[in-house]
Structure 1
Amino acid sequence: MSTLLVANRGEVAVRVLRAAADLGWRTTAVYTDDDPGHARLADRAVRLRGEGPSSYLDIDQLLEAAEGCRFVHPGYGFLSENAEFARRCAEVGLTFVGPPPEVLALLGDKLSARALAEEVGVPVLAGATSGFEEFFKAHGAVMVKAVSGGGGKGMRVVRRLGDLTPAVERCRAEALAAFGDGSVYVEELLTPARHIEVQLVGTTVLGDRDCSLQSGHQKLVEIAPAPGLEPGLRVRLHEAAAAIARAVRYTGLGTVEFLVTPSRFVFLEANPRLQVEHTVTEEVTGLDLVRAQLLLAAEVEPDLSHVARGAAIQVRVNLGSAGRLSTFAPPSGPGVRVDTHAYPGFRAGLGFDALLAKVVAHGDDLDTALRRARRALGEFEVDGAATNLGFLRGLLDHPDVLSAHTGFVDELPREDRGPRAPVQGTVVAVENGTVVVEAMKMQHVVAVGDGRVLVSVGETVAEGALLADGGTDAVEEKVVDVDLDEIRADLAETMARHDFSRPEAEAKRHSQGHRTARENIADLCTDFVEYGGLAIAAQRRRRSLDELVERTPADGMVAGVGLVNGRRAVALSYDYAVMAGTQGLRNHAKKDRMFALAEEQRLPVVLFAEGGGGRPGDTDHGMVSGLDCMAFHLFARLSGLVPLVGIASGRCFAGNAVLLGTCDVVIATRDATIGMGGPAMIEGGGLGVFRPEEVGPMSVQVPNGVVDVAVADEAEAVAVAKKYLSYFQGPVSTWEAPDQRLLRHAVPEERVRAYDVRTVVETLADTWSVLELRREFGRGIVTALIRVEGKPLGLIANDPSVLGGAIDADAADKAARFLQLCDAFDLPVLSLCDTPGFMVGPQAERTATVRHLTRMLVGGANLDVPFGLVVLRKAYGLGAQAMAAGSLKVPRFAVSWPSGEFGPMGLEGAVKLGFKRELDGIEDPAQRREAFEAMVAAAYEHGKALNVASAFEIDDVIDPAETRRWVSTQLLSDAARERAGKKRPFVDTW
């Protein structure tokens, strides 16, 4: 028998408990002393320590309560969209009823959800995460929104520029208190508009609903299906929701929300959970959505077949005050359903959500459903606490209630005029014409003037509750002159600590031909937000605070999030001017923080790694070995999840070199020296005395493959880093390409004449779009990132000027690792083949060719990205098969230029081996040579591209000038892939 913990309260807990009971599952409920009502319906009830919402947010307590359970249903609100809760459930063997943590993290962040919608072609509102004042001036009015959370918290409409800054600060504070994340952004204000939701089960669309009747961004009435939608618009909304779901391979119950006007619709947000208003969809489909949710979690496919059944309306009955319900008589009768956790004698408090009951009316048509909803509200009796029943009855009687927009309710005239509570909270003061309401340890002061105060100290009030009668008309707005340029003492102290200028250290760096850490970050990023800038070295036991602030700013590590090519990325730079860029206790902690952010938000990382490794001088700790630091583990775990870029300039040793070597690509300046140990460590190990420049100079680290791209200086390193990241940030809209007719002459007609394959690559790719990696290592194969028609892809190509294009161990290693990189980040791969095969012979076998060369075959055979093959000239033996991912039948296309020639091995070798007896029988050397050349010519005719195509061993012989057309239509036409996590466990560092 399945067992379920319901990690929630109130009417949603009752709803889930009943659905589980219908399936025959045993259930466990959790409750607090101030909220026990719903727990009576469970087979087992576990009391949580504490009171109020915080207990239901305590992951450790919930996991303790789940002992003996197999499933956890989070309901909605609280932890229902918390990726960490889902991860913790998985870690202890519990099945979280909902999508995986990666999807929760993606959709729970409104900015990443917006980006996802844009990537799949769903329109979004114009928005900004910074430069709010400029954005406001461009759009006239905005909505300020919290990045995390929902339920209308952290949202404000701003119509005047002067109101923008206060609204942003208020939203930040409210979001921080409610969700633990004070991040906000702004969007253009789209009004008047309707709020339309599309219900999903997995990627299947079940219908839509209208949620436009709202007050203060809190929904009051929901209708299904959404009335009055033009059929084509309804289809487009459903298709947009399904596209978003498919992009994340969505599982479980979910909702995609849109704002809709007569001329457009835009994505609002995606909720990866059960919605409060799921009831109306259930009524018009006849499906039990919570049952379907539980079955999906149990890996049982629910029956989603249904026939549309009229219309349904849900009305939310909310508390307006606390109290014990002396009367609680919900309505009933045909077509009426009430979801509630209340009962006569129920102690109604405002410490939780104010929702008391949901009245749902269903009918064969919308008019019938509306009449039933009105009748049901008229029958509903509640005594002992104030509710909004009277307001709801009047709202449903309004003639325009079925054609409302999101501002409709707030624009209605209200009889009870006066100042209202801005939040749900407790009255802590009534004095001097003000009422002070406290919520989440923040006080909100409301001016009431000489109005009659309706509340008293200690009373709990709902958001929007009337605080005074007539106060608004009696109060004149007081304008206080404020010097906006005044710097208060506390701000002055903070600003002084953020002044990181160190003229002497900066001058020294410049004199050595280097830039400072902050100069490199500024060149790489725009809108950089620094984390831990005020950190100092953990050496307070041996140095004064003033000295540490002066000499160890940021503990030698500048770290934060900024925009690279307009997209968010994590950037970190060791500061060599602070203790030689060594790894201190605080900058280790900063790395942990940044790497965790990169993993959570799937942000690429750029690391400037100059520095000397571990720092022995920190004293403010109790560690012994320090081997339990997490930075190396956390950074290595990012491999294959996000692009990792390492930049080395100057000296890079020990731990700094380890982080550098973990990166997908290593960019190094000509003066860089890279080593797993610096001179001190080498000397300490008894291995000799060396200068730093002798340990691992570029003359060693470039040809041996440690460095992917060698550059002149840090400015060029930053430019290359930006270019590298751009290939993983999607297509570009503008591009140019060389005249493709040049390709017709790129390969000489003389079949044994060498040529420059890089000229082929540069001509084939968009202009200035080629970035070659590890050029001086494994020189027989070119590995490069390129663009065709603005779209990024990876390219491998044999270089016939090196070993005639034969593939040796280093070249195979280089190609195999590059294929992993492209596959991990969904870049298509184009292979340009001109090889006589693998390198053979005793010398080659000393390099372990049997193992190294087969890495390329294994890597190609397991690619999951589009792969195409173009044979430029030679395609012989196993080397050609390796360039084709194992076989000519594997690539999405395998075509040849007219110069192509094919065979199981090189023509000359094949003739010598296959016709040895005949050739040995010819005594005259001249005749023997003539016979040999004739046999080679015959073999060439047999293996030339046109003959191979006639046997359909390749797809076509093409005009070289048409190569880009094959690439664009066959490799680059797929829709962009979205992954919830890693495709590969990691990208091999070698």
Structure 2
Amino acid sequence: MDIRPELLELLARRALTEDAARPEAVERLHARGGRTARENVAALVDPGSFVEYGRFVTAAQSDRRSDDDLLDRTVADGIVGGLATVDGRSCAVLSYDYLVMAGTQGMRGHAKTDRLLDVVARLGLPTVFFASGGGGRPGDTDIPLVSALDVTTFAAWARLSGRVPRVAVVDDNCFAGNAVVAGCADLVVATSRASLGMGGPAMISGGGLGEVAAADVGPLDVMTANGVVDVVADDDEAAEVARDLLGYFLGPREDWSAADQTPLRDAVPEGERRAYELAPILETIFDDDSVLPLRPGFAPELCTALARLEGRTVGVLANDTRHVAGAVTADAGDKAARFLQLCDAHGFPVVSFVDTPGMMVGPEAERTGLVRHTSRLLVAGASLQVPMIGVVLRRAYGLGAQAMLGGGLHEPLMTVAWPGAHLGAMGLEGAVRLSMRKELEAIEDEAERERTVRELTALAQAHSGALNVARHAELDDVIDPAETRGLLVRLVDAAARDGRLVGSGRTVDTW
């Protein structure tokens, strides 16, 4: 069959936009361990589902380059984007193209992005953005520019906060405007190849701040410790991790399984001074292979995670006693508050597992802005529209416990405790030493004084035990740990009467 000239021209032009048209550049990228923009998209979405926008756009540099050079060297103006499906559910995907001028942001590329973000807003589509690139690109001469500050892309992307789930992926250098794309997202996935910063080497040098290699601007170990990165992926699995992460926002899963719950009865050690692993508890209670910690290297004393409960996504908040005994620090307050906002915006019920001696205290802690940062957790908890369920594992002391429970024991939809748990206004031994200070000072023999402290602490423990707290109607119930999962399922089902909880749609703080 004869092909009409206009169709032949289309097919030839389309071929120029494919990776096969630039094999040497693709080979160099692969040698560095990278993926092309189109490979990122293909790894993320269902096969055959991608509908592309702006494929034929080239850089606005016709005053400087020939048409052949623009078609060859500025493919799609450095960004590939469109609509697709993931696990059969509609989403949007954008990927800066590192093979086009290091993934820098051109003016026509911004226009393409704005067009697609408008479609995302209209349809309410979850979005994955592969953000790596060098930031704004000078040299677009076809569009008259002076400041280039009237770009609308950043505001359009930020305005989607709370309205649609947004995942950013960073698998290479990601500076300036590209870093803003990552920083404004709800969740950031990064690999060991990532270097993330508000300014790249050229900007650092131009500002008189010395010469810095791109890899040293914001390497992965820095960005995980400071909380910028939520999830770390292997170098060749970033798209797959983003796909899994996006799945938590795409609705319930029908296929799920769960572990035997009886080991929970011995999961928490007796006594209050022994730390323990939190992960086995969460992995037992929630669906198999569904617990995904977020920002685990930042404020590790407080775990935030997404998980599933009979296929439905929930948010998990939990004190980790292996780090500062599970006390709520300034960083923990920030981490938890932002996580609660994320859950609230997207309709995820929150389960809070409490084992804390309270807020961190002391002069060093106060130098971190503790009062303000930990109070963020209280404000976020009190503002929740989604249900919170509280489970006291062992200790629930002071303002730290109240903050973990939305402000108080009766703020959650239900607050229960496991056997052996203790609750109080502060750590029991500290409370004894404070309230009985004069009486203890009157005991001259130090050994006798400490024996008295132990006896009084034992009495306080008996009084503050979970069963006694429940007897006074401060707790809703004390349960067999093996019953926890079943209880959570029934409570979440009751809260989601129509089968789904609707999120608040409110803006999620970037921090």
TM bucket (normalised to shorter chain) is over 0.9
Matched, 1:788 2:345: no
Q: Distance in 2 between matches of 1:488 and 1:742?
A: 70
Q: Which residue identity lines up with residue 66 of structure 2 in the other structure?
A: S
Distance 1:819 1:978, change over 3 A: closer
Deviation at 1:488, TM superposition (A): 2.6
Matched, 1:889 2:410: yes
Aligned 8 A contact 2:424 2:464 in 1: yes
Matched, 1:665 2:187: yes
Deviation at 1:719, TM superposition (A): 2.1
Gaps of 5+ in 2: none
Question: Larger C-alpha radius of gyration, 1 or 2?
Answer: 1
Which residue of structure 2 lines up, in the alignment, with residue 951 of structure 1? 472
Which residue of structure 2 lines up, in the alignment, with residue 915 of structure 1? 436
Q: Distance in 2 between matches of 1:586 and 1:704?
A: 34
Q: Which residue identity lines up with residue 232 of structure 2 in the other structure?
A: A
Q: Which residue identity lines up with residue 914 of structure 1 in the other structure?
A: S
Deviation at 1:985, TM superposition (A): 3.9
Q: Please give the TM-score of this superposition, normalised by the length of structure 1.
A: 0.50
SS of 1:785's equivalent in the other structure is strand
Q: How does 1:818-829 map to 2 (within 5 A)?
A: 818-829=339-350
Tell me which of 464, 468, 491 is aligned to 2:7.
491
Deviation at 1:682, TM superposition (A): 0.7
Aligned 8 A contact 2:33 2:236 in 1: no
Which residue of structure 1 lines up, in the alignment, with residue 30 of structure 2? 510
Q: Which residue identity lines up with residue 508 of structure 1 in the other structure?
A: R
Q: Distance in 2 between matches of 1:876 and 1:909?
A: 11
Which residue of structure 2 lines up, in the alignment, with residue 697 of structure 1? 219
SS of 2:380's equivalent in the other structure is helix
Matched, 1:648 2:165: no
Tell me which of 354, 365, 369 is aligned to 1:844.
365
SS of 2:27's equivalent in the other structure is helix
Q: Which residue identity lines up with residue 554 of structure 1 in the other structure?
A: A
Deviation at 1:978, TM superposition (A): 7.5
**When you count strand as a share of all residues, which structure comes out higher?**
1
CA-atom RMSD, angstroms? 1.2
Deviation at 1:852, TM superposition (A): 0.4
Which residue of structure 2 lines up, in the alignment, with residue 687 of structure 1? 209
Aligned 8 A contact 1:867 1:971 in 2: no
Q: Which residue identity lines up with residue 482 of structure 2 in the other structure?
A: A
Q: Which residue identity lines up with residue 277 of structure 2 in the other structure?
A: D
Aligned 8 A contact 2:162 2:505 in 1: yes
Q: Distance in 2 between matches of 1:703 and 1:553?
A: 36
SS of 2:84's equivalent in the other structure is strand
Q: Distance in 1 between matches of 2:501 and 2:162?
A: 14
Q: Distance in 1 between matches of 2:506 and 2:178?
A: 23
Deviation at 1:977, TM superposition (A): 5.0
Q: Distance in 2 between matches of 1:623 and 1:752?
A: 64
Deviation at 1:542, TM superposition (A): 1.1
Q: Distance in 2 between matches of 1:806 and 1:590?
A: 47
Q: Distance in 2 between matches of 1:759 and 1:727?
A: 21
Q: How does 1:160-309 map to 2 (within 5 A)?
A: none
Q: Which residue identity lines up with residue 555 of structure 1 in the other structure?
A: D
Deviation at 1:503, TM superposition (A): 0.7
Aligned 8 A contact 2:346 2:505 in 1: no
SS of 2:225's equivalent in the other structure is coil
Which residue of structure 2 lines up, in the alignment, with residue 942 of structure 1? 463
Q: Distance in 2 between matches of 1:916 and 1:886?
A: 29
Q: Which moved more, 1:490-499 or 1:805-814?
A: 490-499
Q: Distance in 1 between matches of 2:336 and 2:499?
A: 24
Which residue of structure 1 lines up, in the alignment, with residue 425 of structure 2? 904
Matched, 1:542 2:64: yes
Q: Distance in 2 between matches of 1:727 and 1:890?
A: 26
Q: How does 1:548-697 map to 2 (within 5 A)?
A: 548-697=70-219
Distance 1:596 1:714, change over 3 A: farther
Q: Distance in 1 between matches of 2:423 and 2:338?
A: 26
Q: Please give the TM-score of this superposition, normalised by the length of structure 2.
A: 0.97
Aligned 8 A contact 1:610 1:648 in 2: yes
Deviation at 1:714, TM superposition (A): 4.0
Tell me which of 286, 299, 304 is aligned to 1:778.
299
Aligned 8 A contact 1:649 1:714 in 2: no
**When you count helix as a share of all residues, which structure comes out higher?**
2
Greater relative contact order (Cα < 8 A, sep 6+): 2
Deviation at 1:874, TM superposition (A): 0.4
Aligned 8 A contact 2:386 2:501 in 1: no
Q: Which residue identity lines up with residue 108 of structure 2 in the other structure?
A: R
Q: Distance in 2 between matches of 1:513 and 1:579?
A: 18
Q: How does 1:802-813 map to 2 (within 5 A)?
A: 802-813=323-334
Q: Which residue identity lines up with residue 634 of structure 1 in the other structure?
A: A
Deviation at 1:777, TM superposition (A): 0.5
SS of 1:971's equivalent in the other structure is helix
SS of 2:199's equivalent in the other structure is coil
Q: Distance in 2 between matches of 1:907 and 1:720?
A: 44
Q: Distance in 1 between matches of 2:453 and 2:235?
A: 55
Q: Distance in 2 between matches of 1:503 and 1:652?
A: 24
SS of 1:787's equivalent in the other structure is strand
Q: Distance in 2 between matches of 1:809 and 1:635?
A: 29
Q: Distance in 2 between matches of 1:719 and 1:541?
A: 40
Q: Distance in 2 between matches of 1:547 and 1:649?
A: 27
After superposition, what is the alpha-carbon deviation per residue over 1:383-421, rounded to whole angstroms, capped at 9, x for unaligned? Answer: xxxxxxxxxxxxxxxxxxxxxxxxxxxxxxxxxxxxxxx
Q: Distance in 2 between matches of 1:563 and 1:892?
A: 35
Q: Which residue identity lines up with residue 187 of structure 2 in the other structure?
A: V
Tell me which of 255, 260, 263 is aligned to 1:739.
260
Q: Distance in 2 between matches of 1:840 and 1:875?
A: 16
SS of 1:702's equivalent in the other structure is helix
Q: Distance in 2 between matches of 1:571 and 1:714?
A: 18
Q: Which residue identity lines up with residue 748 of structure 1 in the other structure?
A: P
Aligned 8 A contact 2:385 2:504 in 1: no
Deviation at 1:638, TM superposition (A): 0.3
